[in-house]
Amino acid sequence: MSKAAVVELPPSGGFSFDLCRRNDMLSKKGHKSPSYFKTGTTIVGLIFQDGVILGADTRATAGPIVCDKNCEKIHYMAPNIYCCGAGTAADTESVTDMVSSQLQLHRYHTSRESRVVTALTLLKSHLFKYQGHVQAALVLGGVDATGPHLHTIYPHGSTDTLPFATMGSGSLAAMAVFESKYREGLTKDEGINLVCEAIRSGIFNDLGSGSNVDVCVITKGHKEYLRNHQLPNPRTYVSSKGYPFPKKTEVLLTKITPLKEQVEVIEGGDAMEE
């Protein structure tokens, strides 16, 4: 009689926390866990007289190394809603993609333009459900039937509704600019200049942020995505003579050891058994 086997159900999705205890033990013994790509980052948003302006830098880091000098941190959510993401790059990318799809389906279902609070609720419920393990810190902005809206969303799922906001490692540098110069009823040009100034402050004073400034202006019925609106960091030195690299690995030494002599060849032995 065979013992009744316990049927192992395959995981139906979501996180598997099976290795947590092992990882904890390893880190106590001094083993370094692999790092993720974080978007160091400075992201900002502000409300001006006609709508919302979002801004972001373009540097992605893996520890102290820059892994992408010109990445896109302003993500599309809906024709009238955009979202900036800071934190782990994979998390911000997938959570905004996922909610963007959900909004599209909702638009088909309701035949109406998406509202910013809808995106907000979908994002915060998802992040709360994962208890902060999805490390995405977002600045969500858009203009819908109820007016312009700007929100910040933290990795654990809490949200704030603000007239101006900053997130990421460069948020303090950017907020310093906003707190000095923000006022209600800015014009579009003033708003864009202020956003650029705040992002530049993050780029130059925070080591986790750098490269270029991306801006997105959203107004009623219209949006402008200004990719690389400012490029304040050109390469400082290019050698005039250039560097020719040899096309293949250089051969330093060639030594051939014929193997045939090491092997005894016995002619006419027994055939191998089946």
Q: Which of 4-12, 159-167, 241-249, 254-262 is the region at the interface with other proteins (rule: CB under 8 A)? A: 241-249
Q: Which residues pair with 165 in a beta bridge?
A: 45
| Known catalytic residue at 41 | yes
Q: Report the candidate in 56, 206, 216 with the shortest Cα–Cα distance to residue 143.
A: 216
| Binding-site string for other proteins from residue 55 to residue 84, where x marks contact by CB under 8 A and - marks none | ----x-x--xxx--x---------------
Tell me the two tokens of residue 256: 């051939």
Q: Report the candidate in 6, 55, 20, 2 with the shortest Cα–Cα distance to residue 168.
A: 55
Burial of 234 (0-12, 13-18, 19+ CB in 10 A): exposed
232 binds other proteins (CB under 8 A): yes
Q: Which residues pair with 137 in a beta bridge?
A: 86
User: Considering only residues 184-203, where is the footprint of other proteins by CB under 8 A?
Assistant: 203
What is the residue whose two structure tokens read 């051939």? 256
Q: State which residue, 28 or 109, has the beta carbon closest to other proteins.
A: 28
206 binds other proteins (CB under 8 A): yes
Q: State which residue, 155 or 202, has the beta carbon closest to other proteins.
A: 202
- The correct pick among 33, 111, 146, 236 for binding other proteins (CB under 8 A) is 236
Q: State which residue, 69 or 222, has the beta carbon closest to other proteins.
A: 69
Smallest gap from Cβ 57 to other proteins, in A, equals: 8
For the chain, the C-alpha Rg in angstroms (whole number) is 27
- In sequence order, which residues have a C-beta less than 8 Å from that of residue 76 and are 6 or more positions away? 82, 96, 100
Which member of 39, 41, 58, 61 is catalytic?
41
Q: State which residue, 64 or 269, has the beta carbon closest to other proteins.
A: 64
Q: Which of 73-81, 122-130, 239-247, 258-266 is the region at the interface with other proteins (rule: CB under 8 A)? A: 239-247
Strand order in the sheet with 164-167: 164-167, 43-48, 51-56, 213-219, 222-230
**What whole-number distance in Å separates Cα of residue 4 and Cα of residue 102?**
43
Catalytic residues: 41
Provide the binding-site residues for other proteins, judged by CB under 8 A: 40, 59, 61, 64-66, 69, 169, 203-211, 232-233, 235-239, 241, 243, 245, 252-253
